[in-house]
Structure 1
Amino acid sequence: MSTLREPKRVASAAEPVAIPLASRIPWLTEDPERLVRVNGAVQVGAGLMLATGRLPRLAALALAGSLVPTTLAGHAWWKEEDKERRAAQRTQFVKNLSLFGGLLIAAADTHGKPSVAYRGRTAAVAGRRSARHVRREAAGALSDAAGSVRSMSESAQQSVARRF
């Protein structure tokens, strides 16, 4: 919430991540303060959506996406010279990394409902089984029809032979 109200406070830390990111994505502005504010708004909005159960998979994905630049800009432990600050930043980095993993799990969670991919695979298996069953029935029906034709042919030959 504080980054929404006062983005200047963290804009300087966000600049090394925000500017290269904005230069790669044409519609993003190169203003670090605005990017910090947008990132904060995404985190607040997606957090509220996830907490209230509104589009939870999309909200978790948005949170995971917004966590990447936040973590890279705010917890660059590899740049710290002081051992204590380096350890603190590494701890925060690992914490955010674990949050990222949890958000990805939440984004993939279907709450016990089969996913579209699972339903597609199941339908394909059922379709193959059905096709095999139809093929077997058709082969049996064709075999029965061939037997009937042979039998009728033999009967017709015998009938013709008796008349002559």
Structure 2
Amino acid sequence: MIRHAAHPMLAAMFVAAGYGTLMDPERVAAKAEPVVDAVSRRVPGVPRDAVTAVRLNSAVQIVAGTLLSLGLMPRMSSAALAGTLVPTTAAGHPFWKIEDPQDRARQRIQFLKNLAMFGGLLLAATEPRRHHRGGVRAALARR
């Protein structure tokens, strides 16, 4: 198995943030409520309760981040992480709603950071499969 060197670096933030939010979902549930409400009305299966939705989002981040850091199912785990980043960013960093110039600037930076991570996840999700001569199939074929 060939693992891209950037995958663990990209995944670490999701595992850490997902764990922190899973342990204390109420910390972000109030900010997430408008996004959860909008998404749950349009997407079947999304919980209507903000705390439950935040926990689910966090669990996906932990599992997909761990898989990505281990190089397991990197395209699928990257796509899952990208999916969690959209509502997280919309709920957590709506800089366009903030009046205070300093707070608006801080939230814009966080929004742009998440946008850059989203781009990295899309690249990881769409990178072509890498084939190599080693691995399980080659080892079994040599027997």
Normalising by structure 1, what TM-score?
A: 0.67
CA RMSD, 1 decimal: 1.0
2:64 and 2:44 map into 1 onto residues whose CA distance is 23
In structure 2, distance between residues paired with 1:53 and 1:112 = 12
In structure 1, the residue corresponding to 2:56 is in which secondary structure?
Answer: helix
Distance 2:117 2:53 in 1: 21
* Residue 53 in structure 1 maps to residue 53 in structure 2: no
How much does 1:111 deviate? Answer: 4.4
The structure whose residues are more often helix, as a share, is: 1
Report what 2:50 is aligned to: 32
For residue 123 of structure 2, the aligned residue among 105, 119, 138 is 105
2:85 aligned partner: 67
Correspondence for 1:90: 108
Letter in 2 for 1:6: D
Offset, 1:112 = 3.9
1:41 matched to 2:59: yes
Question: 3-state DSSP class of the match of 1:15?
Answer: helix
- Superimposed CA distance per residue, residues 36-84 of structure 1 (whole angstroms, 9 cap, x where no aligned partner): 0000111111110000011000000000000000000000000111000
Q: Deviations over 1:141-163 (max 9, x none)?
A: xxxxxxxxxxxxxxxxxxxxxxx
* Cα distance in 2 for residues equivalent to 1:39 and 1:92: 18
Q: Which residue of 2 aligns with 1:143?
A: none
**Using the alignment, how far apart are the partners of 1:65 and 1:25 within structure 2?**
13
The whole-number CA distance in structure 1 between the counterparts of 2:40 and 2:99 is: 28
SS of residue in 2 equivalent to 1:110:
coil
Aligned length: 113
Runs (4+) of structure 1 exceeding 6 A deviation are none
Kindly provide the amino acid, as one letter, of the partner of residue 98 in structure 1: A
Counterpart residue type for residue 84 of structure 2:
S
Determine which of 6, 10, 20 is the counterpart of 1:2: 20
Look up the match of 1:22.
40
Q: Which has the higher contact order (CA 8 A, sep 6+)?
A: 2
- Taking structure 2 as the reference length, the TM-score comes to 0.76
Q: Match of 2:88, as an amino acid?
A: T
In structure 1, stretches of 5+ residues that fail to align are: 114-164
Task: Give the Cα–Cα distance (whole angstroms) in 2 for the partners of residues 33 and 60 of structure 1.
Answer: 24
